Chain A
Amino acid sequence: MMRLTEDQIAARLAADIPDSAYVNLGIGLPNRVAQHVPEGREVFYQTENGLLGVGPAPLPGQEDPELIDASKKLVTTLPGAAFFDQAESFAIMRGGHLNIAVLGAYQVAQNGDLANWATLDDKHPPAVGGAMDLVAGVPQILVIMRHTDRAGEPKLLERCTYPLTGAGVVNRVYTDLGVFAVTPDGFRVVELAAGNSLDEVQAETGARLLA
């Protein structure tokens, strides 16, 4: 199988973010999307701990320990940025003011159900953060993830087996094997990573793929 690298998946997703969009990026792989937005587009990122207009990492010597993003990484501000408290930050998210949220996932179902906060493992405490607020309020939910989990099990499924973050909320899924849109009929293939056939990708998917 030909698999895209994580940066290639992030770049593919970034190509779909239009100019002037207000976007929230989740922790981990979603966070990398910011590095790949095509030249000439002004995209404003919100970080839920209280900043709209997140800039790149600071230069050495210019770090501010109280200027961080949701991943707890040091960041900077862009011209036009604003700080706000948690209640206002989640009003931005829940109130439908953002255009796009990019999230990671354990599982996505063909009806758009998303599971990304808890597994069935009781030993580890569940951690939800802002994921449920984002899926409740942001009109476009884009998922970026590996096509299969570490054990090689499919993550695109007919139904999620893990507890849901939200029901019927995902619009598109970007993986190392392609781009998949959630439609009323199930997952539709938008494109496959170069070099793979539909049958090969179908074999690693737990739901029927529509051409």
Chain B
Amino acid sequence: MIDKRVPDLSAAVAPIHDGAAVMIGGFGSSGIPMGLIHALLDRGARGLTVISNNAGAGEVGISALLREGLVSKVVCSYPRTPGSIWFERRYEAGEVELEVVPQGTLAERIRAAGAGLGGFLTPTAYGTLLAEGKETRVIDGIGYVLEPPLPADFALVRGEAGDRWGNVRYHATARNFNPVMAMAARHTIAEVRTLSDTPLDPHSVVTPGIFVHAIVEHGERP
């Protein structure tokens, strides 16, 4: 029988080890797996590489991981959101490495990892600082940059509803990076607002359960 449910948040993050590369879904304040992040904070795994669109804000979520010194590298498109105090402090002190990736390239590199691709050619960033040192091609007069896939050890994603098979559906703009990240990690952990014993309507499933390894209910909305 397939049953990916785990009893609680701390059991869900127990496999996350020091030095792991961890994808974290969310954009701004929506679709962030806040319960899983705070369980990871309690677990205290160190030397993490965090792959996410933003670098957190305030004293919660990714910002709290940075505050506690658990993060050694951030891969993101937009670290400079209002309230990203802990990222800025760690960055200014040289305590965290930053890789800035254009948002669409970030999403597609993650998707490529999940889809078994060796990379892709994108016109994004061609001729800019972010393409320096990268292989380029000109096809039909348009310049492209070769971008590699971006996999991870773990993905933490947040959905609206899930079932024991690991299927997840999302609410509104909380979908964002969650579906592509779910595909791209060796071990994907989904936090859902409601976890049901009955299967989700297959029409409504956005992340098929095959991509999810553990699923846990966390009713609080961030």
Contact = CB atoms under 8 A, between A and B. Distances in A.
Contact of B107 (A83, A87, A118, A131): A87
Contacts of B172: 51, 64, 66-67, 77, 83
A150 interface: no
Contact of B128 (A49, A86, A124, A164): A164
B94 to A, nearest CB: 11
B100 A66 contact: no
Interface stretch (B2-10, B37-45, B119-127): B119-127
B91 A125 contact: yes
B28 A49 contact: yes
B88 A125 contact: yes
Contacts of A48: 103-104
B173 interface: yes
Main secondary structure of the interface of A (DSSP, over half): loop
A67 B171 CA distance: 8
B77 interface: yes
A132 B124 contact: yes
Give the residue among B125, B128, B130 with the most A Cβ atoms within 10 A.
Answer: B128
A9 interface: no
Interface string B26-64: 011111000000000000000000000100000000000
A128 B77 contact: yes
A164 B130 CA distance: 10
Interface string A59-98: 0000011111100100001000001111101100110000
Contacts of B179: 85, 87
Given A94-B123, A164-B127, 16 more contacts: A49-B173, A85-B206, A86-B177, A86-B180, A87-B110, A87-B111, A89-B107, A90-B108, A126-B100, A128-B100, A129-B78, A130-B77, A132-B105, A133-B102, A136-B125, A136-B126
Interface of A: 47-51, 64-69, 72, 77, 83-87, 89-90, 93-94, 118, 123-133, 136-137, 163-167
18 contacts: A49-B28, A50-B27, A50-B175, A67-B30, A69-B173, A72-B81, A77-B172, A84-B175, A85-B177, A86-B27, A90-B103, A125-B80, A125-B88, A127-B79, A128-B101, A128-B130, A136-B122, A166-B128
